[in-house]
A and B are shown apart, each in its own frame.
With several copies, the nearest count.
Chain A
Amino acid sequence: MTGTTGTAATSAPTGPARTAGRLGRIGVVTFPGSLDDRDARRAIRIAGGEPVALWHRDKDLHQVDAVVLPGGFSYGDYLRCGAIARFSPVMQTIVEQAKQGMPVLGICNGFQVLCESHLLPGALTRNDHLRFICRDQRLRVENNRTAWTTDYTEGQEITVPLKNGEGGYVADERTLDALEAEGRVVFRYTAGPGTPEEQANPNGSRRDIAGITNEAGNVVGLMPHPEHAVESLTGPTTDGLGFFTSALARLVA
Chain B
Amino acid sequence: MARVVVDVMLKPEILDPQGQAVQRALPRLGFEGIADVRQGKRFELEVEGPVDAAALRRIHELAETFLANTVIEDFTVRVEEPAVSEEAPA
Contacts and interface: CB of A to CB of B under 8 A. Distances in A.
Q: Please indicate which of the listed interface residues B13, B14, B29, B39 has the most CB atoms of chain A within 10 Å of its own CB.
A: B14
A92 B7 CA distance: 28
B17 A204 contact: yes
A118 B72 CA distance: 13
Contact of B18 (A79, A170, A172): A79
A76 B21 contact: yes
B15 interface: yes
A67 to B, nearest CB: 21
A126 interface: yes
B23 to A, nearest CB: 11
A114 to B, nearest CB: 12
Contacts of B66: 79, 83, 87
Interface string A77-115: 011100110011000000000000000000000000001
Contacts of A127: 17
A78 B21 contact: yes
Interface string B1-44: 00000000010011101100110010011000000000100000
A122 B29 CA distance: 22
B25 A123 contact: no
Given A79-B67, A87-B29, A170-B15, A123 B72 contact: yes
A123 B17 CA distance: 15
Given A84-B25, A87-B28, A87-B29, A122 B17 contact: no
B71 A204 contact: no
Contact residues on A (Cβ < 8 Å of other chain), bracket: 20 to 34
Given A84-B25, A87-B29, A172-B13, A78 B18 contact: yes
B71 A123 contact: yes
A80 B69 contact: yes
A170 B72 contact: yes
Interface in A108-142: 115-116, 121-123, 125-130
Nearest to B30: A87
Contacts, number: 57
Contacts of B13: 172
A79 B22 contact: yes
Contacts of A84: 21, 25, 28
Nearest to A84: B25
A125 B21 contact: no
Given A78-B17, A78-B18, A78-B21, A83 B69 contact: yes
B87 to A, nearest CB: 21
B25 A122 contact: no
A126 to B, nearest CB: 6
A125 B14 contact: yes
Contacts of A171: 71
B69 A123 contact: yes
Nearest to A79: B22
Given A78-B39, A79-B67, A123-B72, A204 B21 contact: no
Interface of B: 10, 13-15, 17-18, 21-22, 25, 28-29, 39, 66-67, 69, 71-72
Interface of A: 75-76, 78-80, 83-84, 87-88, 115-116, 121-123, 125-130, 168, 170-172, 204
